[in-house]
Amino acid sequence: MLEFELSAGQQQLREGIRSIGKSVIRPMSLGWDKNKEIPEDFLRNFYSMSKSLQGAENPMADYNEGPKEKSNKPRSTNRTAAVGAEELAWADASIMLSLPGPGLGGPPVRASGTPEQKERFFSIFRDMSDQLRWGAYGLTEPGAGSDVKAIRTTCRKDGDDYILNGRKCYITNGGRAAWVVIFATVDASQGRAGQRAFVVEQGTPGFFVGKIEDKLGLRANETAELVLEDCRVPAANLLGGEEKYQSKEGFMTAMKTFDNTRPLVAAMACGIGKAAYEYARDFVKDNYMLGRPIPRYAALAERLARISRRLEAARILVWKAVWMADHGKPNAKEASMAKALAGQAAISACIDAIEICGAHGTLSEDHALLEKWFRDIKVYDIFEGTGQIQRIVISKRLMTNLRGF
């Protein structure tokens, strides 16, 4: 049965991140956004601090420690990660995406890698006391994003290697990643069946970092273009090995990744939406006496209530999706539902907050965070599959048994 109560460890994690977010992260947030980076010294200190927040229930520790022995007891990894993601995004979404570790590259390696691959690629994150390291996920291309089967990066076997050619774009932490999971196709005409997933390591000949994007929002997080020109990748870096790809394993690897990451993206959207809602709520409390029988005040109260309802509904969908993932249940529909609702609910929350605060919402230096959240939130209805794609996924899952779907 779906649990709505957080464990003691998850509650401690949430309170710890909220405290650090309010006292340490928020005061630096606007400076990071202006300078378009989070200093590595801060990331190193925050990483060290995060490891002590809540030991075994620290989501960052779980992803950084590599594979663990299987247990019959349901995990809480995804639920804990969602709790942490929401609180970090409440403080500053850029830092959530900039944390050292495997990042979005972790789920496909964990889901499809061989035991040897998991050990090799996760082990570099176990001790980052001397050097921070990142992983990344390279799926999106100039002509293929939400439509995964449209990727055109090619791979061909050459002896004990594969030769990759193509271009990836909008890759989170792509420029500094120690390795990137790259999706390519042996034959685009085969569609999903032709796709393969590789771990391409930094320094591999023919693997280059292109431009670093100058973005509307999340400006402190690095987003890079990656170029592969006759890039020679060992066959040992093909995720899961050759036998995995007798069917549509490459495409399924991408989809499994989305089922794990879409709820976390939705949780982050909830965090940004919650920040905007709390800001508007406190502004109204400080400037209006809502108890007075004035129609405009009643409208403000109803608007705040609507924001809160939608964000709470999105959070419950997130928790359902991660609960299913932790219990080994297929959650593609629920993951898409969570992301589709959370992105729109948070965008509406930011727009409503600006309108509630009026000129103060954008013109006053004291309210610059609200303007930043408005810029940051837009991408949460785009990356990890656009809102339109989520609605297609949901409808197909709902209509599975009907002809034509």
Nearest 5°: the CA angle 389, 101, 372 is: 60
Q: Which of 222, 225, 249, 384 is catalytic?
A: 384
Radius of gyration of the chain (CA): 21
Strand segments (E) across 51-205: 135-138, 154-158, 161-172, 179-185, 195-201
Q: Roughly what angle, to the nearest 10 degrees, separates helices 249-287 and 295-326?
A: 150
Q: Residue 9, SS3?
A: helix
Distance from first CA to last CA of the chain, Å, rounded? 30
Task: Measure the CA–CA gap between 294 and 281, rounded to whole angstroms.
Answer: 17
State the number of CA atoms in the 13 A half-sphere of 137 facing the CB. Answer: 23
Strands 161-172 and 154-158: antiparallel
CA-CA-CA-CA torsion sign (369, 50, 127, 123):
negative
Active site residue 384: yes
Which two three-digit tokens encode residue 295? 């129609």
**96 and 268 Cβ atoms separated by less than 8 Å:** yes
What string of DSSP letters covers 16-34?
A: HHHHHIIIIIHHHHHHHHH
Name the residue among 249, 256, 244 with its Cα closest to residue 114. 244
Task: Measure the CA–CA gap between 117 and 371, rounded to whole angstroms.
Answer: 43
Task: Measure the CA–CA gap between 12 and 313, rounded to whole angstroms.
Answer: 23
Annotated catalytic residues are 384
